[in-house]
Structure formats: structure tokens, C-alpha cells
Structure 1
């Protein structure tokens, strides 16, 4: 909430000044583009507008002029001021990431409550704009308390963009793609190849793969295909190719997940470890300052306590690999108090104690936590919850698959999040994508696998 007070015409003095400092953010350029209808790529983040090989992300002149309107309307003369005219000269440039200092000074008082204001905008490299504005100042002093406008969330996914860029700097990961026999499955693998993320090898029915590639309109002429028409046999052959050193990760194509998991979990010739296989959604939620991890939402239907230990440890290991120094893990339930009537609260309390005693390592674990007080500091304070995790969770551990799946899909379809998917607990990363995934989500899933596999490849 904001409180504003105007300075009436009679109280204005020559030389009186007001200044604000505002950071130009990439999101501001996107909001301005929507409001104005201008799609000039010079003024859009992540675009090269003039073909020189650099992203300009220049602040539009009209956006800079709007900063002046902000000072005039909020501070000098303030609420109730009406614009009459504006004359500006744009003598420099500003771009996303620059802090801009906007100054308004009373230069002349005219008849009829008119006021001429000298204005200027300064950036890191010097003056950006200068000129004058003529306004009608309010006749009376006005005060407005608790002013607010609805918030805006820009549907940008900068965390995934950074993740993909990081993976693109690493060598392409050899990936065995199992049965890419649908347009979306083959498209995901080819897109990741074209971004330099993976070097795919296809296993499946060649005629079906060729038909899928034709439908998707992609070229797979340079991709090797190991012909195995049966899905279950294709999954077994893909796992064998991992053991033969032909791949360092698996990618699910157009086959049932249980057919793939059967091959991975075979006692002889599979890819088992001492961990349970668990699925983690890596989510880029607009408006959030960091990636959010949701687990398990795809493999373990009703995990017992032993399985939840693997779920938590796998998620911590993944988050650490992706750059979270010490992940904060919230064990979710319907309430934040331990009660015997809700078994998931008992599991949550035990998991938190196990982490405290070093049986789960690498992160801070707390629970039970309800969804609100796991992710919102205000909700956590309202419930009297303290500690490192409450209100700040990086990882959300659902009590069962149904709850985890609902959380992930609600974030995707209501909060406009993008979700990458990976299976942890096998000897190699397992990439899971969905038909509903965007291009960015598919690339992010592959990027996660590339970064996960990097230490083993270097070692």
C-alpha cells in the first residue's frame, strides 16, 4: 500500500524538486510492449534488434517519458495533477538493468494554476532525456492512503533460459531415446540435438520413427536408429546400450512408463542403485526468484517412509547439481502440526528428524508444512513457524503421487509455470517429457540431464 500527498498550486515554490530512482527490468520492456502494441525487437529482452549479434534490450523513449509522469503524478505536484504538454529531447539510451534517476523541478508558475516543470532522466552513462512539462497543479492539498493496483506477473521463464544456456556450454550428452514413434517424442529429441544439448540414438521401429519425423517436419537422417519393433524389447535394448557405453542418459519416447521402468529395474542388466527411482519436476514459476522442485508426482503412488527417504535425498541431490547450495525441503501435508489422524504428518516429522541426525544430507528438511506456509513467509509467520524452511521451501515433497501431480499441474495451468521432468535414482538420468510440454520445457528437461551427468563424464 502507498500513501500520496499533493502539493497545491499556492504551496509550490520555484526550484522545488522531486526525484525517484527506478531500475529498468526486462519485465518492464515486456509490459510496455503489451500496453503499447509495439513489437520493435530493439526494445524486447533476448532479441537482437539490429543484426549486430548483440541483445540491445533498449528502454523505449515512451517508457522513459512515463517515468517523468510517475514523479509528476506521485510527488510533484502529485495526485490531482493534469498534463497540458510535454517537450522532451532524448540525448542518450538506457537498457534493461540500468538504474534511472528522474528529476522534476518547478521552473515557472503560470496563470490558471499552470506550472512549467524542468525534467531530466539520468542513467549510468549520463543523461538520457531532458526537457519540460507543463501541468495544471491541484488547487487543494489531497492525501490518498492505502493506494494499490493489481499486481502483474510476466510469464517469462528466465530460470529455464539460464539452465539451458548453462547446459549448452557443456558437451552434447549421448542419449538413448526409447521409441520416439510420435511427432512430439521425435520433435523433443531433435530440438535438443539442434540446441547442442544431446547426441541422440533412437531405439524403436524404424518405419514408425520415420513416419513421426515426417509428421513433425524434422530431419533425422544423421541419427542412428537401432531397430527393435517391440516396446518392451526396445526398453531392454536401450538399457543394454547404456552398459555398452553408447549413451549416458535415457529419454522416454512413445511408450508406457512402466515398460521403461521394468527394463531399468531388472536385477540383472538393469540400472538399479541403492536408491528408489523417484520423479522430480523442476519448475520455473513466473514471479518466483528460484527454481521450484516438486516430488514425487509420477512414479511412486503411495510411498512409505523408506521410499520417502529416497524421494527427499534424490531431490536434494538434483537441486544441488543445478546450483542450489543448500536446498530447503518442505515435507507437505494438509496441516503443519503432527497428528496421528493424518499419517503423512508423522512421516514428515520423522524425515525432518532423520535430516537433523544426518540420515538425509545436503539440505535443510522441515515438516509437516501445509502448502501455504511452505512457500509464503507471511503465511509461515501467521502460524508462528520459524526455521530455515518455513515460507522458503525450494523443494516440495508431496505425501503421495496424487497430491504431487495436482501441485505440479496447478502450477503449470494456473500459475503458468513450465515444468521439466527427470527420474532420479538410476545409474544415469532418465528424461521424461509430455505431449503438453512446450519447446522450452523439453529443452529444460534435457538440460537438467546434461548438467546432472556432467560430473560423472568429467570424472
Structure 2
């Protein structure tokens, strides 16, 4: 077959097809095939879509939807023989045995009978696995193409799907087995903030303490059909009082984490950073985005994109140390830290390059511990080995970064939002450097993001139980 014919699909007309003609198609079942078929069909049968359930069932393994094999018959008819223009009329199939992940299925279609009066053709269908065992057999009746068609082959995008839900389940699994933590949810007086807190409770991550005007919280729940169950509600008059009460609960040891609801970030953080009554530690408070980007082979942390507007050199020391300590909590023993700028060389006219050089030397001298630092690095050099090699950068960090330290809040916020909205990244956000982790959500954040952020808070809270509190 020439390269040109591989790029085209060509049909066979009724007259060109004879009894006994046959064609074959071979496919291997991948995990993403099951995922794609479940999403397309809406068939979330746990015997197929839930690995834990599947292993406890009849077949003791994850199997394909039966119609996945049957769909390959349709693929063969429509793309190979008879080809474009074929219309499926009738089908009778028997499913002999399951198809498991890694099985290779061969579809064989053989012309059994032709009908001159309506140009219909009946095919015998046989689907066998790599052991030559039959998985599906039966017959298919089609109307052959009335004329010759030749069309360019459409190249479908490669899998796997960028499935945020599946990646969320992986993140949720990290907290499985850990007891829920008491979380003060500050002013959950709109649909999304209350829904996020209740979803985290349903997932077994938190025992929420809902702090706000009780009548308003209950009205939101009633309007949206949310069940408040036995969740605790602390009745206060307004959002400012809710923030103050949440901080008081933390200081009294009644909660291990905070979650922002439908109040402004400044209103909550003003109570958190209050010198006399807040939750300060010796560290500067900073924010970290944990992002699972489908096009990047490892989780990536971005800091600081939400709290520190224009951090100084010494601010960045704490920002980096907070991120390194967080990386340790999520299982990265020696995170690779890229200090970002617009260029990869030190330039006296660009302050972020001077800061990067100083920070790397401070790490060499033990002023920043637990990670490997390099900078300045442009974004492409930090995440692309090809870009780094092209520019002659030899570094343990370049192209492999696990922490991205941004020059200021504007650049960090833009990077994080671009990855979330254009690269379909699963995002979790957490505020570090206070006495407890703080889930600082945006009004636009989905329940998925709030759940992911609660997982992070749970991991940090349990890690905090194992160590001495930071001295104020």
C-alpha cells in the first residue's frame, strides 16, 4: 500500500463485493479506551469504570464495555470494507467472553450473502483475542455504497483524554484512610462555597464548621437542595465577624484549617495576619498552586500567585521554603525549584534575575533547605528539556522543574490561570506560613478545585500533627 492510499478511504460498491470476501481489523484495549467509551456512552457501570469494584466482581479485573468490541465491527465496515457510504441496517451479536485491558482483538468480517433487490449484504462477524479465543460473533447486515467514494482519511487526535475527574480521584486517594480534619469554613453564604465545603465533607476529608449568618447559610442550602445534616453552624452577624470567629477557633484548637467562603480575600487575610490576634508564624505567609497539567510529566507548584504582590528578596526566601516544605508533604523529597524571570542570564536591569542568583547562592549556603534551586530561568527553560538544551543550559532543574517561583503576583496568576483554562490543569490552592493551612478559593473556582484544595489542607494538617509548631 502506498503512502497516498494510506491517506485515503475508498469504498467498494455492491457489484465489486463477492460472497467469501473478507477483511480484518486489529485493536488492543487500553485503559483510556474504557474511559473514552464510558464518557461517550454515559455508561459508568462500576464493574467496568471502577477498578476497585471490578476486582471484587465476577471477572476479578477491569473489562471493556461489550459494545466496545461491537463498535470495532462498525469501524471496519465504515472505513475498510465496504468502506465510506456503508449504512448499517441490522446486527445480531453474541458476546462469548470479556475483553480485558491489554487484550488484542481481531475483527474478521466475511461476506455471507448478497441481496440484489435492495443491495444489502450480510457479513459473518468474528472477534477473537490474542489467544485466538472468540469474544464476539454474529452477523451484520449493511446497505453497500451505491457508488464509488474516495475521501481523505481524517486523523483523530491521540489519546489519552485529559480527564480532570480521573486526576482528581488520584489526588483524593492520597487522603484515603486519614481521618477528617475540623475545618472552619468562613462565610459560606453562596452556592459554590457551601457546595464545596459539603462535597469535601461527603468525601470524608473535613468536618466543616460553617461560620456565618445562620439564616443565610440555611437559605442557600434550601434554595439549592443541600443537606446540612448535623454539620456545625456558628451564627455570627456578618462576614467580618465570621473571619474573626474562624481565627479564634483556630487559636483555641477547635479547628485545624481554614476555608474561605463568599467573603473578600482581604477581609479574611486581615484577621489571619493581625499581629496580636492572628495566625502568624516566623515565616512570611504565601500561596502555592498545586497543578496537575496533562502535558507535563509531574505535578508542579507555582508560588506566589495570590498573596505577595511584589515580594522582596527576603520575602522570596520564605516563599520558596514554604513551597519546599509543602513539596515534602506531598511526597517530593528534594523538589527542583526554578526561579523564573524573562531570561536565563543575570541582567542588572532585571531585578528578578539578580534575586534568582542571590537565592541560588543562599541555598548553597544553607539559608534555604530541602530543595535544588536554579535560576534565573525563563519559563520554557524551566519546563522543557529541549528548550534548555537548545540554549545550552546544563542544570538539574532546567526542563524538570517541580516548583516555579514567579517574580510577582501578576506573572504567577497569569501562568496558573493559563494552565487551568487552556491546558485543562487540575488545580489546588493553599496558603502556607500561617499556623494552619488555608484554602483560599476564588469565586470562580469549581467544586472540583475546592475538593482538590481540601485534600492538600488535610495532608498538611496531618503532617503538622507530626512536628513541633513553628515558633512565633
Who is 1:58 aligned against?
Answer: 63
Indicate conservation of the 8 Å contact 1:295/1:398, yes or no: yes
Who is 2:460 aligned against?
Answer: 452
Give the length in aligned residue pairs. Answer: 408
Task: Answer yes or no: is 1:45 the counterpart of 2:52.
Answer: no
**Deviation at residue 423 of structure 1 after TM alignment:** 0.2
Indicate conservation of the 8 Å contact 2:48/2:65, yes or no: no
| Separation in 2, partners of 1:84, 1:225 | 67
Match of 1:440 among 440, 443, 448: 448
| Separation in 1, partners of 2:177, 2:37 | 32
| Separation in 2, partners of 1:452, 1:159 | 20
**Deviation at residue 63 of structure 1 after TM alignment:** 5.1
| Separation in 2, partners of 1:50, 1:451 | 28
**Deviation at residue 100 of structure 1 after TM alignment:** 3.7
Task: Answer yes or no: is 1:252 the counterpart of 2:263.
Answer: no
Task: Answer yes or no: is 1:280 the counterpart of 2:283.
Answer: no
Who is 1:334 aligned against?
Answer: 342
| Separation in 2, partners of 1:208, 1:53 | 46
| DSSP 3-state at the match of 1:41 | coil
Q: In the TM superposition, what are the counterparts of 1:348-359 in structure 2 within 5 Å?
A: 348-359=356-367
| Separation in 2, partners of 1:64, 1:378 | 40
Task: Check 1:447–1:50 CA distance in 2 against 1; reply closer, same or farther (3 A cut).
Answer: closer
Task: Answer yes or no: is 1:309 the counterpart of 2:322.
Answer: no
Match of 1:407 among 415, 422, 433: 415
**Deviation at residue 211 of structure 1 after TM alignment:** 2.1
| DSSP 3-state at the match of 1:389 | coil
Who is 1:29 aligned against?
Answer: 34
| Separation in 2, partners of 1:351, 1:307 | 11
What is the TM-score normalised by the length of structure 1? 0.77
**Deviation at residue 59 of structure 1 after TM alignment:** 2.7
Who is 1:320 aligned against?
Answer: 328
Q: Deviations over 1:348-369 (max 9, x none)?
A: 1222222233221121111111
User: What runs of 5+ residues in structure 2 fail to find an aligned partner?
Assistant: 7-24, 84-91, 109-125, 138-154, 468-472
**Deviation at residue 121 of structure 1 after TM alignment:** 3.2
**Deviation at residue 92 of structure 1 after TM alignment:** 4.0
| Separation in 1, partners of 2:168, 2:360 | 30
Indicate conservation of the 8 Å contact 1:67/1:102, yes or no: no
Task: Check 1:271–1:284 CA distance in 2 against 1; reply closer, same or farther (3 A cut).
Answer: same
Task: Answer yes or no: is 1:295 the counterpart of 2:295.
Answer: no
Task: Check 1:435–1:4 CA distance in 2 against 1; reply closer, same or farther (3 A cut).
Answer: same
Indicate conservation of the 8 Å contact 1:154/1:287, yes or no: no
Task: Check 1:184–1:130 CA distance in 2 against 1; reply closer, same or farther (3 A cut).
Answer: closer
| Separation in 2, partners of 1:348, 1:319 | 20
| DSSP 3-state at the match of 2:130 | strand
**Deviation at residue 152 of structure 1 after TM alignment:** 4.6
| Separation in 2, partners of 1:88, 1:227 | 62
| DSSP 3-state at the match of 1:201 | strand
What is the TM-score normalised by the length of structure 2? 0.75
Structure 1 runs (4+) greater than 6 angstroms displaced:
3-6, 47-56, 65-70, 87-90, 102-105
Who is 1:391 aligned against?
Answer: 399
Task: Check 1:307–1:23 CA distance in 2 against 1; reply closer, same or farther (3 A cut).
Answer: farther
Who is 1:174 aligned against?
Answer: 182
Indicate conservation of the 8 Å contact 1:252/1:431, yes or no: yes
Q: Deviations over 1:321-353 (max 9, x none)?
A: 112222111111111111112111111122222
Match of 1:189 among 194, 197, 206: 197
Task: Check 1:151–1:243 CA distance in 2 against 1; reply closer, same or farther (3 A cut).
Answer: same
Indicate conservation of the 8 Å contact 2:259/2:439, yes or no: yes
Match of 1:265 among 257, 260, 273: 273
Task: Answer yes or no: is 1:363 the counterpart of 2:361.
Answer: no
| DSSP 3-state at the match of 2:301 | strand
Q: Deviations over 1:399-420 (max 9, x none)?
A: 1000010001111111111211
Task: Check 1:336–1:38 CA distance in 2 against 1; reply closer, same or farther (3 A cut).
Answer: same
| Separation in 1, partners of 2:189, 2:354 | 44
| Separation in 2, partners of 1:385, 1:103 | 48
User: What runs of 5+ residues in structure 1 fail to find an aligned partner?
Assistant: 7-18, 73-80, 106-117, 132-147
**Deviation at residue 84 of structure 1 after TM alignment:** 6.1
| Separation in 1, partners of 2:134, 2:323 | 47
